[in-house]
Amino acid sequence: MPVHVRLPAHLVALFPGAPRRLDIEAASVGEMMAALDALWPGMRDRLCDSTPAIRRHINVFVGGRRANLATPLHDGTDVHVLTAISGG
């Protein structure tokens, strides 16, 4: 069983054909990022920096907890990719 990924609307708008919700086979958040990039080249660059790490303004939550690229994923887990909102 795959993990259930939810992506922000403004991200999928940059990648024609990308849905807001999809299921992906991945054992970690890093593998999930690679799978997204395989489906829509360039998506990983929007979500991760070159160190590699999740970009500072992107938040990934796995089962309701903030995650990093090494966070393991289990079958049926909900993964939410959100953008940080800031301002003054």
Tokens linked to 85:
């909102």
At 84 the pLDDT is: 82
Supply the mean pLDDT for the chain: 95
Cα-Cα-Cα-Cα torsion 82, 46, 48, 78, nearest 10 degrees, comes to 30
At 1 the pLDDT is: 73
Given the candidates 3.10.20.30, 3.40.50.300, 3.90.45.10, 3.40.50.170, the CATH classification of the domain at 3-83 is 3.10.20.30
Domain ranges of the chain: 3-83
At 87 the pLDDT is: 64
The rounded distance, in Å, linking the Cα atoms of 13 and 71 is 26
Q: Confidence band (pLDDT; 50, 70, 90) for 88?
A: low
The rounded distance, in Å, linking the Cα atoms of 88 and 80 is 25
At 85 the pLDDT is: 75
Tokens linked to 5:
């990924």
The rounded distance, in Å, linking the Cα atoms of 15 and 85 is 21
Is the pLDDT confidence value at 34 over 90?
yes
